[in-house]
Amino acid sequence: MANTNGDFPTTLGADAFFKGHLKFEKGACLLGRFEGEISSKGELIVAEGAKINAEVQVENIRIDGELRGNLNATNKVHLSASGRVEGDIHASRLEVAEGAVLIGQCTVGTNGKDQPKGAAKATLTDSGAPGKPKAAQAGPGEIKK
């Protein structure tokens, strides 16, 4: 759980619903529901059980819950086994745990916006069937796993 006195002074409780624009400096942990826009130069944690429907611009993000919307991380995106993202991801680094669900396009490279030579770009879709792996589709000259 997030440390409310240190790196994550902002917390949206599990029983809370917030709609609008959330802006913070250090870090935030979302345990409840949120709709709108999120922007920060800090780190965001979407906790397990949280449901976020937003356009997100942060430095780092860990997703243990659900995120619907486009995500731009200037540094790292960590999608845990319990995490689910439906939207496009632009990030410098991307870490996806086994069991995570990712439906959308990913651009991973130097700053998440400009795709340098050797950066990976793929479209990932969930097969929808239990036990079936996710499929990656890559374009010409792109990485396919």
Residue numbers of the domain that contains 17:
10-103
Of 102, 29, 27, 111, the closest CA to residue 70 belongs to: 102
pTM of the model: 0.75
**Which residues lie across from 18 on neighbouring strands?**
34
Q: Is residue 111 a part of any domain in this protein? A: no
**Which residues lie across from 37 on neighbouring strands?**
21, 55
pLDDT band at 8 (very low <50, low <70, confident <90, very high): confident
Domains held by the chain: number: 1
Q: Is residue 95 a part of any domain in this protein? A: yes
**AA identity, residue 67:** L
Q: Sign of torsion, CA 58 111 88 49?
A: negative
**Which residues lie across from 19 on neighbouring strands?**
35
CA dihedral 28, 114, 53, 81 (to 10 degrees): -70
Q: Is residue 135 a part of any domain in this protein? A: no
Distance from C-alpha of 108 to C-alpha of 138, rounded to nearest angstrom: 13
Of 35, 37, 29, 24, the closest CA to residue 13 belongs to: 29
Q: Is residue 137 a part of any domain in this protein? A: no
Q: What is the pLDDT of residue 132?
A: 46
Q: What is the pLDDT of residue 2?
A: 43
